[in-house]
Each structure stands twice: as structure tokens, then as C-alpha cells.
Structure 1
Amino acid sequence: MTVNAFDADRGPELPRRRRRSGGEGRRRDPNVMVPDAQFASYYGRHIVKPAPWGNEIPAYFFLGGLAAGSGLIGAWAHACGYDVLRRNARLGAMAAVGLSGGALVADLGRPERFLNMMRTVKLTSPMSVGTWIFSAFSASAGLAFAVEAADLLGVGRGDSLPQKAIGAGVKVAAPVSSVGSAAFAAPLAAYTAVLLSDTATPLWQESYRELPFVFTGSALAASCGLAMITTPPAQTSEVRRLALMGAATDVTAYHLMARRLGEIAEPLAHGRPGRLARAAEVLTIGGALGATVLGRNRIGAALSGLALMAGSAYTRSAVVEAGIESAKDPKYTVLHQKARLAARRAAGMRSDSITTA
């Protein structure tokens, strides 16, 4: 075969590309060469500022829930006549709410900052409302503690006029403290979830539907665990049933939350928050089953109670740390904003269609 100069300069002839028949080239996916989206922010800064919280806030959440559940159990035991359970639950509520306040003050840095929050009442602020709920429950728990202390010390049992006056006061204060503890127990256990949901942190804000049920169920399970540790099994049969209900509420609401959040819930499945969440689920389910099967044995009840309390503490820590991780990664902020924008657009289209109809 003869090769001309042009062909020699051009080099060996390359095989011609065959034309695709039937418009196959036109039907090719136009995004086949588009790389995966990389979520980033300007200068590597966080889009949403992560909460600067340490271990004090998860402890504050856990102890507040423990106090709320114990106050509710104490009020119920007072109505049913379980004296030992009533006393232990009331003392536990007072100890837990005191430690919870200490953890909050430790995070604030100075005690007067907590007092500054009580100068106003702002119904649109979960922090303001929560401060007053916490204070009202603390007052009820303190009154119940005073009643139990007077009963243990025998104050108000004498025949003198001062002793009779004290005894009359104790009789009035006992039901008042029970009503107050029962009334503020559920708001105290749930308001911390509302507080988290009111922030700009993607995971917390998007979990506003299920997180209150996670926290209240976890609080009930933990307080039942404390009652099982401190009280003989003869007076905790109903408490063990409550523990099973609280654990079921906690685990069910948590899984519904994780399923609905989708990709935004990824921090709850990876890293340290993921390990804490898995440990919390195992401990909560194990504690509830142990309370049902081994609850009549004092040692078995105590071990089950410890598992329930540890599961509740791990649940709070997992949610807090996962939320902080979701704020650090711009991916979850962008996904969260896109999801909310799509929901608003869908709601607008529905409203327009209804108006047109």
C-alpha cells in the first residue's frame, strides 16, 4: 500500500469511530461524567456554629429526666400508699434535680447566669419556659424532701403546740408536693428535647417530632430503674411495668426518628455517637427485659435498674454528640435546607391546588 506524504506526516491512520445507530449516543445519560457533589463552605468554616457543650449538658438532660420520672413515681406511690417507694422516689428526685442544676451551672460558668434567666418570662423561648419549669419542679421536690425529712426525724409528732403546728403543716404539704411534682414531671422531661429542636443544628431541628417521646420514654425508664435499685421488689411490681412502657417508647420513637431523618441521621450511626446509641439500645432493651423476668429478685432488679439508667444516659449523650457532628459537616446543613425548601414548595403547590379547586 502506498503512503503519501500527508499520511506519513500524520502517522498511522487511526480507526474511524463508528456511528451509533438508532440515536444511542443521544440517549446517553448526560450526568455520567459529572462527579459526586462535594459539600464545602467558605474558607472551611462551619455553616452552622456547633454547640460548645461538654459533658455537663448531657448530664443535665439525663439528671433532669431522672428527677422528673422519680417525682412522678413518688406522687403515684403517695396516692397508692407505698411508703418506702414514695420516700425513695422523693429523695431520688431531690438528689437528681439538685445535681442537674449543678451541671447546668457548671456549663454556664457562673451561678448568677441561671438567676438572670429568671428575670423575664418569654413564652416563645424554650430556654425561658424550661427555666421556670425546672424551678417549679425543684420547689415541689424540695417541699416533698422536707416532708420526708420531717417524717424520718419525727418532727411534728409531739404533743406540744409547735409540734402540732408542724405536724399540721406536714399533712398539708404532703399532697401539695405530690401534685406539684406530678404536674411538672412531664414538662421537665420533655422540654430539653424542645430546647434542642429550637436550635439551627440540622439533626436536632429536624427531629422535633420524635425527640420529645425519646426523652420522656428514656426518663421514665431511668427513674423506674432507680426505684428498682432503691426499693424492695414487693413495692415495685407496677414500676417494672412502667419501665417496660418507657423503654418501648424510647426505642420505638428513636427508630422512627432515624428512619424519617434519612441521611441527616447518619451521625447517629457512625463514630462515637453511633457507639453510644447502640449501647443505649442494648442497655435499654436488656434492662426492660431484665425487669420483666428478673424483677422479683433484688439483685436482678438492681442490675436491670442500672442498665436502664445507663441506657438513658447514653441516649442523651448520643443525641447531643450526633447533633454537634451534624453541625460540623456542611453536608447535613445543605441537605436539611433542601428538604425544608422542598417541603415548603410542596405545601405551596397543595395550597394553590386547593384554592384553584
Structure 2
Amino acid sequence: MSSGANESGVTPAAGRRRRRAGEELAVPPAEFTSYYGRPILKPPVWTWEIAAYLFTGGLAAGSSLLAVGGQLTGRPALRRAGRVTALAAVTASGVLLVKDLGRPERFHHMLRVAKPTSPMSVGTWILTAYGPAAGLAAIAEVAPLLPDRGPWRPVRRVLPPVGWAAGVAAAAVAPALGTYTAVLLSDTAVPSWHDAYPDLPLVFAGSALASGAGAALIAVPPRQAGPARRLAVAGAALELFGAHRVETRHGLLAEPYRTGRPGRLLRAGRALTAAGVVGALLGARSRVVSALSGAALLAASVATRFGVFHAGVASARDPRYTVLPQRERLQRRQAGEQDG
């Protein structure tokens, strides 16, 4: 054996000739790990309360929009159901947010400043503006129950116009309430949330409309639920369109939305949304079918919000979703500089 040969008897020159002839060296696939097996990004510390908060905020927004539709078109049952549902949902949102913050005064402290560049700050003010309006609108619904005599007479007469104005105000803030949480998630460094910033607001807006419609289909007689059925179709179409974009337009970062627990939740959400829309259209004269379709739409909204939440957490825990997109962006930037 010559002095230049390796242990297998192949000289470096022969190895170079073989590679020049087209022989490829076997390179083991890269494994993306981090020190001590810890994620590169710190996963969100949010618990299930925030995922539930995403749902209740959307439900409140969709219900307020239906309530103002009911009051403008002379559908008292639809107006009443929307107002009461909106108050219950925004109250639950406040409880969930305070529970996540740990102490109630932390919410108050967030109101010391208004920072337009911070989705969290803007969202706090949106919730603060929406809550009292939704509360006044719902309280106005007790006016017919008050006695029309003595000191109750002026209260009974004042409440309806106050509720009308408050309902319009709540509906004006509702679109921001239903979508700001999508902006909040997208503004983080969590890969699958951040990359989907153009499409998550579509998903959340559609989910908010569909969930509000679902609550109305449960509580409102079919003869007054026409706007709820139409809103269910519009919300479902918007949600499914946004979800399709999220799962198909973002390459590797769309993978967490299709696999594992998030994928199962989102697929269940799509199936429930489709079932709810079909039930809403076919059950225009059946209170039972309408209620079942409404329950399906509510369950779909819950599954969608939790699916998006868990997809982001999964993308933060796996180093691939941080490293590979960064490398791709760097390569595109370098290629652009060379072309320039």
C-alpha cells in the first residue's frame, strides 16, 4: 500500500477522480438541536386561558354585530340574544385575561399608557371601550321587566334609547375586538404565528362571525334568525378561506397547522363549520336543527382558536421552524444582492 493511501486503499487522487466522475459523498442529514435540548425560542408561557380568551372575544364581537342588526331590522329576539351573549362573552374574556395576568391590578396598570405600536396596549383599550358599551346594551333589555310606575318609570323609559346607542357603539368596536388578537399573535417571534400575519385576521374575523351566528341560532326562533344564518355562511366562508391560506402559503411554517394536535383541531373545526352551515341552511324552519347547527358553529370556533394557539406553541418548540426559514431568507437576500 502506498503512503498516500487511506485505510481502505483509496488514494486521495483516486477519491477526487471518483467525485469528478459523478460519485456523491453520503452526508448524514442535518439535525436541528440546541444546547441541552432546549428550544431556540422560548415557547409562549400562555396557558389555556389565552386560547379560551381568543374564542370569547370573537364570540362577543360576532354577537354585538348580530344584535345591532336585530335592533335595526326590528327583530327583538335576535337583538336580545346578541346583547346578552356579548355581555356574557366579554365578561368571560375579562376573567380569563385577569386570570392569565395573575393579579387584577395588572389590567389596570396596562391602562396607564396608550401605545399604538403595541397590539397588547391597543387590545386593552379596545376591551375597555367595548365592555361598558356591551354592558349597557344588555342592561337595557331589562326595561320591559321594570314596573311602569313610581321611580321606575323614568328608568324604564330611559333604558331603551341608552341601550340603542350602546349597542351601536359596541358594534362599532366589535370588528377590532374580533381581530386584534390575531395581530397580537402575529406580532410575536413565534414562527408560525408571525409568518401568517396576512391571513390570521381573516381566520379570526370569520370565526368571530360564525360563532356569533351559532349562539343566535341556538337562542333565537327560526323566523327571526335569518340574519344569523346569512352571517354563518359569510363567516364560515371567510374562516375557511383564511385557514386554507394559512395552511398552504407559508411553506415549512404551515406544517404545524396540518400536523399533530393543532392539525386535528383545525380539521375538526373545518368539519364542524361545514356541518353548522349546512344545518343552518336546511333548518330554517326547525328549532332543533337550528340549535344543533349553532352548537356545531360554536364548537368549530373553539377548535379553530385552540388549533391556531397550539400550532404556534409547537413551532416555537421545534428548532427547525426557526433555523430553516432564517436560512432561506438569508439565501434569498444574498441571491438578490448578487442579481443586483
TM-score (norm 1): 0.86
- Counterpart in 1 of 2:92? 99
1:60-99 alignment to 2 at 5 Å? 60-99=53-92
Q: Of residues 118, 121, 128 in structure 2, which corresponds to 1:125?
A: 118
Q: Point out the structure with max Rg over C-alpha.
A: 1
Cα RMSD, aligned residues only? 2.3
Which range moves more in the overlay, 49-58 or 63-72? 49-58
2:185 is matched by which residue type in structure 1? L
SS in 1 for 2:117: coil
- Once the two structures are superposed, the pairs formed by residues 280-295 of structure 1 within 5 Å of their partners are 280-295=269-284
**What's 2:20 paired with?**
26
Distance in 2 of aligned mates of 1:78 and 1:343: 54
Contact 2:61–2:175 (CA under 8 A) maintained in structure 1: yes
Aligned to 2:130: 137
Which residue identity does 1:146 align to in structure 2?
I
Structure 1 residues 47 and 224 mapped into 2: Cα distance closer, same or farther (>3 Å)? same
1:296 deviation in Å?
2.4
1:327 aligns with 2:316: yes
Equivalent position amino acid for 1:246 in 2: G
SS in 1 for 2:20: coil
Kindly indicate whether the alpha-carbon contact (under 8 Å) linking 1:193 and 1:215 is maintained by their aligned counterparts in 2: yes
1:296–1:29 CA distance, 2 compared to 1 (3 A): farther
**Which residue in 1 is equivalent to 2:197?**
208
Distance across 1 between alignment mates of 2:243 and 2:171: 25
Alpha-carbon contact 1:222-1:309 (below 8 Å) kept: yes
Amino acid at match of 1:228: L
Displacement, 1:338?
Answer: 2.8
CA contact (8 A) 1:264 1:335 kept: no
Q: Secondary structure at the match of 1:118?
A: helix
Alignment match, 2:212: 223
Aligned equivalents of 1:105, 1:204: Cα separation in 2: 23
Q: Closer, same or farther in 2 for the Cα pair 1:119/1:35, shift >3 Å?
A: same
Per-residue Cα deviation, 1:79-102 (whole angstroms, up to 9, x for no partner): 111011101110010001101111
CA deviations over 1:90-133 (Å, ceiling 9, x no partner)? 00100011011111111111111111111110111000000110
**Runs (5+) with no aligned partner, structure 2:** 2-8
Aligned residues: 328
User: What SS class does the counterpart of residue 229 from structure 2 fall into?
Assistant: helix
Deviation at 1:137, TM superposition (A): 0.9
Q: State the alpha-carbon separation in 1 of the partners of residues 239 and 335 from structure 2.
A: 31
Distance (Å, rounded) in 2 between the aligned partners of 1:331 and 1:299: 48
* Aligned partner of residue 224 in structure 1, secondary structure: helix
| Residue number in structure 2 paired with 1:51 | 44
TM-score using structure 2 length? 0.90
Give the residue type in structure 2 aligned to 1:154: L
Structure 1 gap ranges (5+): 1-5, 7-13, 353-357
Q: CA deviation at 1:340?
A: 4.0
2:304 aligns with one of 315, 327, 336: 315
| CA 273–169 in structure 1, closer or farther in 2 if over 3 Å, else same | same
CA distance in 2, matches of 1:332, 1:46: 10
Aligned CA distance change for structure 1 residues 163 and 346 (closer, same or farther; 3 Å): farther
In structure 1, how many angstroms separate the alpha carbons of the residues matched to 2:336 and 2:165?
47
User: How far off is 1:163 after superposition?
Assistant: 4.4
Per-residue deviation at 1:37?
A: 1.7
* Distance in structure 2 (CA, Å) of the matches to 1:29 and 1:209: 45
